[in-house]
Amino acid sequence: MARYKIAIVGAGPAGYFSAQALQNSETEDLTFAIDLIERLPTPWGLVRSGVAPDHPKIKTVSKVFEKIASHPNFRLFGNVELGTDIQLADLTARYDAVIMCTGSNIGKKLGIPGEDLPGSISAADFVTWYNGHPDYVHVDVDLGIEAAVIIGAGNVAMDCGRILALNPAELDTTDTADHALAKLHSSHIRQVYITGRRGPEHAAFTAPELRDLPKLEHTDVFMDATAIEEALARATAEAIDGELEKDIRNNLEAMRVVAEAEKAGNDRSLTFRFLSAPKEILGDGKVEEILFGINEIRDGKVVDTGATYSIKCGLVITAIGYEALPIDGVSYVKGKIDNVEGRVLGTNIYTVGWAKRGPSGVIGTNKSDATDVVKLVVEDLTAPKVSSDITELLISGHPVVTQLTWEAINAAEVAAGEPLGKPRVKAVSREELLKLGNLLA
């Protein structure tokens, strides 16, 4: 019987699904010892610090993660940072394979004038701020203004727009971080715009997110019905045999429902603007206005008409995708780990998830991704390495969040939420988290 040591770096969905794929590949002759290394004191990655707090159903996947973690071949090493507490070379030397599941956490930049003005922030900072990620608690989010504009027509833009536009009372029974919930309650924002540079037919939203919009009780949602019908006509004309792709059809149908829904006259609004390309963010020392070029679709191509319009606003959030923050010892191309189908060629390093394929797909996409890459890991295995345990490498006294420690942190957060009707109250600093795990006095 061969037992192989596998290190997984990054305890988000890609990390857990990689562990699960390894567990599913075990046979009588092939077993694994899996160490999951995570720089934060908390696991679950985007499920904790990315998924919008008003979407608790999506977070139930954490139950699957905890089942994976309960397997006897699994160990968690939380609060252990690659490059600081441990080096990638230490892992490649000791483990038979290292699977990098480190995601992409830097927001892409627009590259337009005014982007660095105060009041212009990335969704990468805003989402982690309201979700209580320890590194983003102090992001300066100015909500003392009337209007906010989100750039991008994807699900992250949708999350940012919804969180700003809904009545914050709707978040009171969620796990929104306390500091963010307090600030949202005192927010002056009443108009939120979500803008896409192409047409409604090209939007990257998914239909379930669009179908959720009419459920916002205290916010009127505006989409231009004519723009949706024009998009439908264009997309149908371009479709093979006039048969619209299912995703486009579902999206446009959901948009039509939003456009036609009766408005309740709420003072809070969420307005969608398509064919709007951001040109410049204007303001004297802070964001005051954003200028858009008006695009049109000509012969299936997006063309700048030369005309412009602007929206007065005090906050601009850019939600146009993410890139990976490079980690020493592995090369990156276009914001992703340089890999061929998950193999980092010439090494025993592999990659799964957004670090491998870029920021695309939903949480479940990482499951099939992990299964495919783990097949390659198994295919490449030779004789198991004889090596010392990773614990020898960690500085003595360094507080490591094991699975048991995490369970204590998790239980304490959930218990704190119970009397308030919340799924949990998040601890938002490393110190607080380590205290909950009894690793700090």
199 near ligand NAP, rule: CB under 6 A? no
Q: For residues 88 and 80, give the distance between their C-alpha atoms in angstroms, rounded to a whole number.
A: 12
124 near ligand NAP, rule: CB under 6 A? no
Q: Over the Cα atoms of the chain, what is R_g?
A: 23
- DSSP notation for 13-35: HHHHHHHHHHHHH--SSEEEEEE
Q: Are 129 and 49 within 8 A, CB to CB?
A: no
Q: How far is the CB of 302 from ligand NAP (least distance, A)?
A: 8
DSSP 367: H
Q: How far is the CB of 196 from ligand NAP (least distance, A)?
A: 5
Q: Which of 90, 125, 209, 230 binds ligand NAP (CB under 6 A)?
A: 209
Q: Taking CB positions, which residue lies at the least distance from ligand NAP?
A: 154
Give the footprint of ligand NAP on residues 320-379 (CB under 6 A): 320-321, 359-362
Q: Which of 103, 146, 141 is nearest to 122 (CA)?
A: 141
Nearer to ligand NAP, 94 or 197 (CB): 197
206 near ligand NAP, rule: CB under 6 A? yes
Q: How far is the CB of 53 from ligand NAP (least distance, A)?
A: 12
Helix/strand/coil for 431: helix
Nearer to ligand NAP, 320 or 370 (CB): 320
Q: How far is the CB of 394 from ligand NAP (least distance, A)?
A: 33
Q: How far is the CB of 213 from ligand NAP (least distance, A)?
A: 13
Q: How far is the CB of 230 from ligand NAP (least distance, A)?
A: 17
DSSP 181: H
Q: For residues 117 and 204, give the distance between their C-alpha atoms in angstroms, rounded to a whole number.
A: 27
The tokens for 218 are 């205290």
Q: Which of 197, 357, 367, 424 binds ligand NAP (CB under 6 A)?
A: 197
204 near ligand NAP, rule: CB under 6 A? yes
Q: For residues 121 and 88, give the distance between their C-alpha atoms in angstroms, rounded to a whole number.
A: 32
Give the footprint of ligand NAP on residues 136-155 (CB under 6 A): 151-155
297 near ligand NAP, rule: CB under 6 A? no
Q: How far is the CB of 108 from ligand NAP (least distance, A)?
A: 6
Q: For residues 144 and 163, give the distance between their C-alpha atoms in angstroms, rounded to a whole number.
A: 15
Q: For residues 230 and 227, give the distance between their C-alpha atoms in angstroms, rounded to a whole number.
A: 5
Q: Are 47 and 400 within 8 A, CB to CB?
A: no
Using CB under 6 A, list all residues that contact ligand NAP.
110, 151-157, 159, 196-198, 202, 204, 206, 209, 278, 319-321, 359-362
